[in-house]
Structures are given as structure tokens and as C-alpha cells.
Structure 1
Amino acid sequence: MNIQKIADRKLLDQRVIHMPWFVQQFIDYKLPDLSPSTLLEYIRDYEQFFGWLIAEGLSSAQKNTEITLHDLEVLHMNSIVGYRLHLTTRTEGTNSRITVSRKMSSLRSLFHYLSQIAEDEEFYPLLKRNIMAKVESKRIHKPKDTAAKLKGKILEEDELLDFIAYIHEGYRIDIENNKQALHSYELNKERDACIASLILNSGLRVSEVVNLNIEDIDVTNKLMYVYRKGNNDETFKSPVYFREQSKDELDAYLFLRQSRYRTPKKEKALFITLPNGQSEGKRMTKRAIQAMIIKYATRFGKPYLTVHKLRHSFATDYYLQNDIYKTKEQLGHASTETTEVYAHLTDKTMLEAIEKRS
């Protein structure tokens, strides 16, 4: 099991015991098919929903474990409408349409399981009435809409190389009067440039970067072996190629990985951090990599640039030179529908698509 999944599984085990028994049963049912990260999101969604039920007096429970199947059976449609209003207008930091759609989908999954799959000792459904079956499932993120939101917020053409070059040299000029920032930069610039280059030349997700181990890299053949999202076979790592442009950054970083970060031989992680006051380096976290990219992107003049937008930047550039099926395979998408985003991201792509139809 990869590093992120281990952490999420531990957190899932800690939180699921505070759920009603039938939710615990549902999570056990889903565990073989869904990642701990996804199930953890389910738990968070149920915590919010049950908390709202209690606050609104729709359940006499004092805590989540006391929520009953009867509480769910007697919900009216106006209660579900009220909860959606709560999510969109009555909470601090109101949720986006996509987030609300996902939270409602989590509830639909639970209610479907309780009413259609799970049964009591007499073989009757645990839930006799499924109010969520009446709630429409609307497709929120269409590829064209997602592309419109990304337009102008990714790196294009020469900007991919410019951003890596900025991490190598340009950032130093911008912080030359800040001794503390300069010291940290000089320590980490090769590593940071390597991470950015690897994403911009392969399209890895941040979780895939975090989970990379030293033995997963084959620099000679420009190949990595990664745990892909959605693959529940914990023993299988997918081969992913990276472009020639990343070889120099990888070689430079690998040369100093052990000595500069005091990396113990037992540490398998590819990307290492050496926290202040620590005697040994350890694996970088997802949050640290995200913060690092934002730090450089802000000074680079693109504060909206994130790790995931670096992935989008690679994907758009790659799609211009390859077909949708190769792009899907390279990115590890489950469906070409997800990959369609990149067909809408540039005028050039759309023009080519139209010309092919004429």
C-alpha cells in the first residue's frame, strides 16, 4: 500500500468508529473497491450530514453513532432541499456546485446500499424508503466547462521550460535580499526543479510524486513506476514515461539526494526534505510539494498555478502532439471523457479537430 493510502487508511479507521453501525457496514462493503482516500471523503460527508440532522432536530440523537435507520427513512424531500441550501448558502465558506454534487452523491451511495443491497436477518432491506432515489443526479463538470476554467491558468509552449529555468536561477534574483529564504532556496533548488520538471514532462499527480521511491526511477530508459489512482491492486505499479528534458534535473538531484539531505539508507523515498533541527532527511509530504510550487509560481507571476495545473499544462502540451488515447494512458485516466478537457484547452486543438471532420 502506498504512503498516502496508509495514512488515509489509518485516519479512516479512527473516524469510522464514530459513525452509526450501518455506515460502518457500508464502508466495509466498499473497502475492497474504493481507496481509503475516497472512503475518508465519504466519512467527512456523512459527519456533516448527520451533524446537520441533529442540529435541525430531524434526529433525537446526541451524537453520530446514535443516528438510526428510522431517522433516514422518515426524511421528507423538503429536508433534502434544506440540506442542499445549507451547503450552498448557510455555511461558512459556501461549497461550490461540484462539491455539493459530490456530497449528494455520497449520500446517494449510502442510501442505495441500505435500500438495495444490505438486508436484515429476515432478508428485508435495511432501509425501507430511499428518499435519495428522488434526488436528481446532475452532471456538473463537463469537459468543455472545465477547460474554460483552466484557460489562461496553465503553462503553455515555452512557459513550461521558462518555469523550470526560473526555479533554477530566476527565483534567486527575486529573493537575494532575504537571507533565510536564500539559504532554503540554495539547499533545495535542484530538488524543486526536479519535481517541477518531472510533472511538466510526465503529467504525474502530486500523490504519485509523493509515493515515488528511489527504485521506481529508471533514468536511462526515462521510465518511472507509480501507484496509479483508482488501481486497488496494492502490488502493481504502472510504468510511466517522462521526456528527455527531465533527465538532467533527475541526475543533478540524485547526485546530491543522500549527502545534502542526510538521507538514511533505510529511506526509500525519492524526494527528501530535511526539516530544521532534524538530523536525518525524510519523505516530502503532499502539502510540502503543493506549497513549494505555489511559492515559485507566485514569484513567477502566475499565483494561480498549482501542482495539478502543472499536470494540466503537460497534458495540454502532450495532447497537441498525440491522440486522446495516448494522452489518456499517459495521465492514467479511467475514461477518455476526462481526457476530453484537453481537446478544448487551445484554439489550435479545436481547429485541428474541426479540420479532421471536414
Structure 2
Amino acid sequence: MTNAQVLDRYIQHMLGQGKSETTVSNYATDICLFFDYLENERGATPGGGGLQASRQDLGEYTQYLKIAERAPTSINRYMAALRSFYAFTFSAGLMRLNVADKLKSFSVQKQNLAKWGTGNEIGRLIDAIDTQQLSPTKKILHKAIISVFLNSGLRVSELVALTLPDVDFAGQRIIVREGKNDKYRIVPMTKPEIARLKEWISLRKRGGLYVFQSERSDQLSVRAVQHILAKLREISGVDLSVHQLRHTFAKRYADANGIGAAAEVLGHSNINTTRVYTAPSMAQHIANANRIATEV
């Protein structure tokens, strides 16, 4: 069986277990890096060395990553993907041994690496919309998108999936019907957000149910939203991703309303996931250190 064939079976298995497409895609990418290593560094059969891997191969791959100066957190992610993959190949009867069952993760001191925007950064990002050579309608669309991220904390996949019935202006709420792990939840909708959404919806030229549309499609894609923000980053010089806009909402909401309320609105099953927004970020640690820095 080729690497491509066994990887496809693994992907279908993971999706069948309810794993998100993003998680499965990331794992598949990390597993393919190991396949490349087997071919290029261990002389494995091109396109078919995955099922011939040994515990020694995996151990030496870990050392290879360390020599390549990959971050411990990155190596841990690669190891997690390989543990998952080889547990599957063993349970599916494709290999007689689970060659990854001895793989260990690196011990990494827990630090808050989450990033959220400051008031100044968010202002510059929003101002960048008006500086672009865009039609007034597109500028309104972009402002509506940024407003939903900053005021309701939706994930990008949730934003593009929004339909008109999901936006309850009278109740000042947004219904997220298929959040992460297909969880249903209701999130608050602020007055500035309502104004932006009403403005955008009144200008939509296409029919259909989806709130956010492009000139060519009834539903805006995740990639299109990411492209919009990439352009704003380039113009404003503010290095915030789509997901970091969600972090920005999460931080502000947790500070104002407490960790329990934030966990509910964000759709976190485990409140420990939300604690990151109440702990100092690395940027805050750097600022704190600079305040007590000593000139030498």
C-alpha cells in the first residue's frame, strides 16, 4: 500500500471520528514531512515507506528535527501526528506493531503565547480599510466582517457559514449552528456590529441564505476572508491573523465578564482553554520586563 493510500484511509478515519478538517489537514501535512524524511534521509521506497517505518526511524527523526533547530512545541506537534497515525495503522491491521507508542513529547514550560490586538492596533487595522482602492460596498463588507470577529469572537469557519436566519437583530444575538466539533451556541451581538451588518445586508446583490458573499459566489470562502485580512495587515503593519481577532474579543470579554462567561460565548468545552485569556501574554511579559530594565 502506498503512502498516499494509507494516508487517505487515515484521513477518512479521523474525519469519521469527528475531528475538524483543519486538525486533520495539519496532521496529514506533518505525517507527509515524515514520509519525505524516510525517502530523503533513510532511503525508503519512494511513495511507500510509511508502513515500513521502525521505532529507530522515529527516534532518529526526532533527533533530526532537534538538529534542524525546530522548536520543541513544533516537534511535539509532529510527534502527536505520528502517534495518532501509527496507532491507526496498528489498529487497522496495516502494521504488526505500533512503532510510535514509545514516542515522548518534550517538556515545555507553559507560557501564554496567545496574541491579541491592542486598541491602537485594532484602530490602525480598521483605518486600513478606508485607505484601499475599493468600492464603497466592499469597504462596508470588510468592516462588517472585522466587526463580527471583534464583537462576537466567531471563528472564521463560523463566520462564513452564517446565514440570514442566524442573525437575530431583534434579539441582539448570533446563532452558531455548527461550531467546532459541530457544537451549537448563541453569542451576543453588539450595537456597532448590528449597524455594520444591517448596512452590509442591505447592499447584498446576490440572493441566497449566506450573510457574507462575494461578487462571484453566494458564500464567501475562508480563504477569501484570510486574503482580506492579509491585505489589511500589509497596509496597516499590524500583524494579526483572523484567529487573533477572535483572541482579541476573547481577551476583552474575559477581562470584563470573567472566565466562565467567556468560555460559554467562545464555545470552549474545557474552561482551561479559556484561561489563556486571563493570563499575561508574552507581549505583556516583555512590556513588564522593559519597565524594570537596567541600562548597562
The TM-score bracket by the shorter chain reads: 0.7 to 0.9
Matched residue, 1:344: 279
Q: Which moved more, 1:44-53 or 1:311-320?
A: 44-53
**Cα distance change of structure 1 residues 102 and 166 upon mapping to structure 2, 3 Å threshold:** same
Task: Determine if the alignment matches structure 1 residue 308 to structure 2 residue 276.
Answer: no
Deviation at 1:244, TM superposition (A): 2.4
Matched residue, 2:287: none
Deviation at 1:272, TM superposition (A): 1.6
Matched residue, 1:29: 13
d(CA) in 1 for partners of 2:108 and 2:12? 29
User: Does the 8 Å CA contact 1:17/1:24 hold for their aligned counterparts?
Assistant: no
User: Does the 8 Å CA contact 1:199/1:311 hold for their aligned counterparts?
Assistant: yes
User: Does the 8 Å CA contact 1:111/1:127 hold for their aligned counterparts?
Assistant: no
Matched residue, 1:109: 84
**Cα distance change of structure 1 residues 56 and 110 upon mapping to structure 2, 3 Å threshold:** same
Instruction: Indicate which of 209, 224, 227 corresponds to 1:291.
Output: 227
d(CA) in 1 for partners of 2:118 and 2:229? 13
d(CA) in 1 for partners of 2:143 and 2:157? 17
Instruction: Indicate which of 46, 51, 61 corresponds to 1:83.
Output: 61
Matched residue, 2:92: 118
Instruction: Give deviations 1:207-258, integer Å, cap 9, x for gaps.
Output: 2112222232112212222221122xxxx64322222221111111111112
User: Does the 8 Å CA contact 2:186/2:265 hold for their aligned counterparts?
Assistant: no
Counterpart code for 1:62: P
Instruction: Indicate which of 232, 239, 251 corresponds to 2:186.
Output: 239
**Cα distance change of structure 1 residues 185 and 101 upon mapping to structure 2, 3 Å threshold:** farther
Instruction: Indicate which of 127, 144, 153 corresponds to 2:96.
Output: 127
Q: Percent identity?
A: 25
**Cα distance change of structure 1 residues 159 and 221 upon mapping to structure 2, 3 Å threshold:** farther
Matched residue, 1:99: 74
User: Does the 8 Å CA contact 1:200/1:310 hold for their aligned counterparts?
Assistant: yes
Counterpart code for 1:146: L
Instruction: Indicate which of 137, 146, 157 corresponds to 1:187.
Output: 137
**Cα distance change of structure 1 residues 139 and 207 upon mapping to structure 2, 3 Å threshold:** farther
Instruction: Give deviations 1:145-192, integer Å, cap 9, x for gaps.
Output: 324xx3xx5134x865x458636xxx54xx4xxxxx42x153311111
**Cα distance change of structure 1 residues 26 and 95 upon mapping to structure 2, 3 Å threshold:** same
**Cα distance change of structure 1 residues 67 and 328 upon mapping to structure 2, 3 Å threshold:** same
Counterpart code for 1:325: G
Tell me the C-alpha RMSD between the 2 structures.
Answer: 3.2
d(CA) in 2 for partners of 1:57 and 1:281? 47
User: Does the 8 Å CA contact 1:46/1:107 hold for their aligned counterparts?
Assistant: yes
Task: Determine if the alignment matches structure 1 residue 67 to structure 2 residue 49.
Answer: yes
SS at match of 1:240: strand
Matched residue, 1:251: 198
Structure 2 unmatched ranges of 5 or more: 285-296
User: Does the 8 Å CA contact 1:324/1:339 hold for their aligned counterparts?
Assistant: yes
User: Does the 8 Å CA contact 2:121/2:238 hold for their aligned counterparts?
Assistant: no
Matched residue, 1:219: 169
Instruction: Give deviations 1:111-136, integer Å, cap 9, x for gaps.
Output: 22344x3348xxxxx433x3422221
d(CA) in 1 for partners of 2:108 and 2:268? 18
Deviation at 1:88, TM superposition (A): 5.3
**Cα distance change of structure 1 residues 272 and 243 upon mapping to structure 2, 3 Å threshold:** same
How many residues were matched structurally?
282
Matched residue, 1:230: 181
SS at match of 1:224: strand
d(CA) in 1 for partners of 2:250 and 2:194? 19
d(CA) in 1 for partners of 2:31 and 2:125? 42
d(CA) in 2 for partners of 1:19 and 1:141? 36
d(CA) in 1 for partners of 2:204 and 2:5? 47
